[in-house]
Chains A and B, each alone.
Chain A
Amino acid sequence: MAKKQLVSVKVNGREREAAVEPRLLLVHFIRESLQLTGTHIGCDTSHCGACTVVLNGKTVKSCTMFAVQADGGEILTVEGLMKDGQLHPLQEGFKQEHGLQCGFCTPGMLMSSYALLHNNPTPSEDEIRRGISGNLCRCTGYQNIVGAVQYASGKMAEGKMAQGGAK
């Protein structure tokens, strides 16, 4: 067995660390070492996107990366979306627009949508579909997921306007 290496990361704003074997995948590190089980393992072959997390501002499939590679980085998982007891507009959108049925793909969908809206706050339907093209959903047919992202986009724009108005 290869000797363990210390991995230090900032996850959802909190410093975390653990000594792990180099072959430990990032998704197993998140779920087992850090006990954050919101991030799912679906296909385990880099197709389905259920394991998507945001690492240093970019979405990655955490089943296709080693935990040691993330050392020193900043990770956002689905657990980090809610703030001050308030759902993120995306989470609210998925609820309002029925953007999920079984819910298995939802954490990954949320993280891909989060990165999409961060880079492009008002995406077209095409851009949304392209933005979530690395995430598979076997229930919804995607229609309501697109609606949920549009809902969040509108909500976040309203939020910004309200903030601007208060200045």
Chain B
Amino acid sequence: MIPPAFEYLRPNTIPEAIALLQQHGEDAKILSGGQSLIPMMKLRIARPGYLIDINRISGLSYIKEEGGFLKIGGLTREAELESSAVIRAKYPILLDTAHVIADPQVRNLATVAGNLAHGDPANDHPATMLALGAQVVATGAGGERIIPIEEFFLSLFSTALQPEEILTEIRVPAPPARSGGAYFKLERKVGDFATAAVAAQVTVDANGAAQKVGIALTNVGPTPIKAKKAEDFLRGKKLDEANIRHAAQLAADDAQPSSDLRGPAEYKKGLVKELAKRALSRAAERAGK
């Protein structure tokens, strides 16, 4: 399959890239990992007139802890999450997520920021970042602005990023002591989108009661879904089997799946319930409740 013709632009700095975005407006797309954009261009679902390749901009690829946040650069690849010592030691939910995205070759190119900026509710990091309460840094001509992840996903393939902005960093608040998280996904085969998936991140107090709870769902609605009822229910409660089971039911109630080739809506709701149960149990276990 041959993608439609486009002009290829390769800026060396962020200001250069933003100037190109301003010049070409909505006819331009940012090319980072390209693992969603290029397949869409080959299918001619996307037909940008200009591709602005940001891969040669230096200083955009990093994973670091700074000022109470884990900071992930705009060009950091999924494979880099998998091999990062800090991710392995302190952010098991991010490791869970990176592990089940596509396959090794795709993860070598695909970026975490692209996984969010694409605005696809079938992508995996959106739910994980919702559960973690992350922030997105958008850089435009006027400088940086910070968008809470809860306000980022507007509708199918549409985000709060403006056409002349670039997602340059993701900030995850450093989890306090006694925190844990997990991501559970069911896929038909390696590399497929989730039939459904659930991200859960919890912090418990000394008595094992949940202080902070983040739960979010993948590919069961037009946007990634924050399971607010389940979160509210669990806050202040012990993460025991009965409470987790009830919260999992509330999460399933919040899901809005549609029937498709991955299964009927009812099946997907049931799946969310089971995956939520597993994700919450693993998160609680990792928090050392």
Q: Which residues from chain A contact B51 at a C-beta distance below 8 Å?
A: 22, 66
Contact of B35 among A1, A46, A49 (CB under 8 A): A46
Chain B: residues with Cβ within 8 Å of the partner, total of: 28
Of B1-9, B122-130, B240-248, the segment with at least 4 beta carbons within 8 Å of chain A is B1-9
A42 within 8 A of B: no
Q: Closest chain A residue to B37 by CB distance?
A: A64
Q: B103 on the interface (CB 8 Å rule)?
A: yes
Q: How far is the CA of A30 from the CA of B130 in the complex (A)?
A: 41
Q: Is B207 interfacial (CB-CB < 8 Å)?
A: no
Q: Are B53 and A69 in contact (CB under 8 A)?
A: yes
Within the complex, what minimum Cβ distance (angstroms) separates A104 from chain B? 17
Is there an interface contact between A61 and B8, defined as CB atoms closer than 8 Å?
Answer: no
Assembled-state Cα–Cα distance A130/B103 (Å) = 9
Query: What distance in Å separates the Cβ of A157 from its nearest Cβ neighbour in chain B?
Result: 22
B8 touches A66 (CB 8 A): yes
Partner of A60, one of B6, B53, B109: B109
| Residue contact A64 to B39, C-beta cutoff 8 Å | yes
Contacts of A65 in B (CB 8 A): 34, 38, 109
Q: Are B5 and A2 in contact (CB under 8 A)?
A: yes
B55 is an interface residue with CB less than 8 A from chain A:
yes
In the complex, what residues of A have CB within 8 A of residue B103's CB?
A: 49, 133-134
Q: Does A95 contact B (CB under 8 A)?
A: no
* A47 vs B42: C-alpha distance when bound (angstroms): 14
The answer to whether B186 has its CB under 8 Å from any CB of chain A is: no
Closest partner residue, chain A, to B3 (CB atom) = A23
Q: Which residue of B lies closest to A61 (CB)?
A: B105
Contact A134 B8 (CB under 8 A): no
Known: A23-B2, A64-B35. A134 touches B106 (CB 8 A): yes
Q: Which of B5, B31, B35 has a CB less than 8 Å from the CB of A21? A: B5
Name A19-48 residues within 8 Å CB distance of B: 21-23, 25, 44-47
Q: How far is the CA of A135 from the CA of B138 in the complex (A)?
A: 35
- A112-B39 in contact given A69-B34, A69-B55 (Cβ < 8 Å): no
Any B CB within 8 A of the CB of A154: no
| Nearest chain B residue, comparing its CB with the CB of A1 | B5
Segment 130-147 of A: residues with Cβ below 8 Å from B: 130-131, 133-134
Out of A2, A22, A23, A59, which one reaches B105, CB within 8 Å? A59
Tell me the nearest residue of chain B to A57, going by C-beta. Answer: B108
Task: Knowing A44-B42, A133-B103, say if A58 contacts B190 (CB, 8 Å).
Answer: no
Flag if A22 contacts B8 (CB, 8 Å).
Answer: yes
Instruction: Report if A68-B191 is in contact (Cβ < 8 Å); known contacts: A44-B1, A133-B103.
Output: no
A52 interfacial by beta-carbon distance below 8 Å:
yes
Task: Check A23 against B108 for contact (C-beta < 8 Å).
Answer: no
Cβ of B79 within 8 Å of any chain A Cβ, yes or no, is: yes
B5 CB contacts on chain A under 8 angstroms: 1-2, 21-23
Q: Which 6 A-B pairs have the closest CB atoms?
A: A134-B103, A22-B8, A58-B108, A134-B105, A133-B190, A59-B105
List 15 additional contacts besides A22-B51, A59-B104, A133-B190; criterion CB under 8 Å: A2-B5, A5-B8, A22-B5, A25-B3, A46-B35, A46-B191, A60-B105, A64-B109, A65-B34, A65-B38, A66-B34, A69-B31, A130-B104, A134-B104, A134-B106
